[in-house]
Structure formats: C-alpha cells, structure tokens
Amino acid sequence: MSESNVFEASPEAKGKAKQLRLFAMLAWILAMGGQIFAILKLISDETLIWLIVTIVAILILAITGSTLWKKANRLDPASEKDSTKFFIQNQLGAIMGVLAFLPLVLFIFTNKNISGKTKGIAGAIATVAMLAAGITGADFNPPSVEKYTKEIQEQNEAAKGVGIDTDNVYWSQAGNKYHAYDNCQHIRGKSLASGSIKDSWEAKGISELCKTCKKKAAKSSVTSGAKELIGSE
C-alpha cells in the first residue's frame, strides 16, 4: 500500500486524543491519591467501612481513566512497528489499574495492627478491585496504524462493491457512522463534513457505513445492473 493510503490521525483527532489522555491521567492521579490516603489513614478496624468506600472510589477512578485512555487510542493509535511503545500505550490502563491497588493490598495483608477479620474483608475486596481494574484496563483488541490501514482498505473495497463513491462520503460532527448520501434520513438537516472513507477514519475514527445507506446503495447497484442487462439484449 502506498504511503498516501496509510492511516494517520488528523490534527483534530490527535487534539481530542490528547485531551482524553490528560483526563485519564487526572483520574489515575486521583486514584493514586485515594490509595495513599487509604494506606495512611484507613487501614484499621475502626475505619473498615470507610476503607471499603475508598476502595470502590479508587476502582471507579481507575476504570474511568482506562476507558478514556482506550478511547484516545482509538482516535490516535500507535504503530505496531515500535513494539514497546505499542504495548505500553495500549496496556497502560491495565498497568495503572493494578498499580492503583497493589501497594494497598500489600499494606493490608502485612499490617499487624488490624484483626484477621478486617484483614480478610478489606484484603479480599481490594484484591478483587485490583483484578477488576486490571482486566477492565487491558485492551484485548488494541488499535494500530497498520490495523486501521487494512480496515480502511477493506471498507473501500466493500463500499465499491455496492457502487459507493469511496472518495465522497458524509458524516456529522456527533455521528459514529459515515454515509453514502448527504440526504440520508439519519443526517438530514445536520452539519456535515465530507471526504473519503479514509478521511472519516482520520478525522473522527468513524469506521462503519450507515446501514440505511448501504441498503440503498446495494438496491441502486442491483437496479443499475438490471437496466444494463436489459439494454444489452
């Protein structure tokens, strides 16, 4: 594939991805802060309830950070050519999710000033939360420049198969699908952007053709084919 057909996130997509990553980092920093507070102030028999509440809050922050980070990666993916960067960028949510709880779990189980009951309850809840944050933060199907490039090519071929002009599709600012027709009922009256299928990916990460447009294009393609067949007889 030529260099011009290789996926590259647009400046707009990169800007939004950067913003999402900053919010993700903020969520993780707050989660780490909650963990430090829990270690210093809440590991005791008297504050077990507050420790559990804090663990839940840390979990929510960790998952929020991971969700935002993965959304950013889909807008501005890493390249598989740099395997280290690719792994860290796509699995940072899992790493941060575990780090948001691991020190706390260790402090709970090694603390000699709390009862076995408190240690068992708090330790079990913190461990489950750590596993949940790690699994939720992991990306089992990470995006990449190479994967997007391949999928764009496949989208182009599929669209051409039903007679869609792949260099002239439409999408709305709030939409998550591209359209073959600017008068499609789903985008009628909305502010539209237009360009190639590749442009829709690079601008907003849009990778799916509107089903209504796909049916209309397929029907139009069949009708045109029938007319050509009749005209040749």
Question: Which of 137, 163, 183 is the last residue in one of the domains?
Answer: 137
- Give the residue numbers spanning the domain of 24: 3-137
Would you write out the chain's pLDDT as a tens digit for each of its 233 residues? 445 578 888 898 899 999 999 999 999 999 999 999 999 999 999 999 999 999 999 999 999 999 999 999 999 999 999 999 999 999 999 999 999 999 999 999 999 999 999 999 999 999 999 999 999 999 999 999 999 999 888 888 888 888 888 889 999 988 889 999 999 999 988 889 999 988 888 887 787 889 999 888 888 766 554 444 455 55
- The dihedral through the CA atoms of 143, 15, 186, 193 has a sign that is negative
pLDDT reported for residue 229: 42
pLDDT reported for residue 226: 44
Count: domains in the chain? 2
Statement to judge: residues 73 and 177 lie in one domain: no
> Contact at 8 Å (CB) between 214 and 180?
yes
pLDDT reported for residue 202: 81
Statement to judge: residues 120 and 69 lie in one domain: yes
Question: Which of 95, 116, 137 is the last residue in one of the domains?
Answer: 137
DSSP three-state, residue 205: coil
Statement to judge: residues 152 and 133 lie in one domain: no
Question: Which of 80, 109, 137 is the last residue in one of the domains?
Answer: 137
CA distance between the termini of the chain = 40
pLDDT reported for residue 179: 93
Strand boundaries in the chain, DSSP class E: 169-172, 192-195
pLDDT reported for residue 66: 98
Q: What is the DSSP string of 152-179?
A: HHHHHHHHHHTT--TTSEEEESS-SSBB
Output the pTM of the full model. 0.82
Statement to judge: residues 184 and 222 lie in one domain: yes
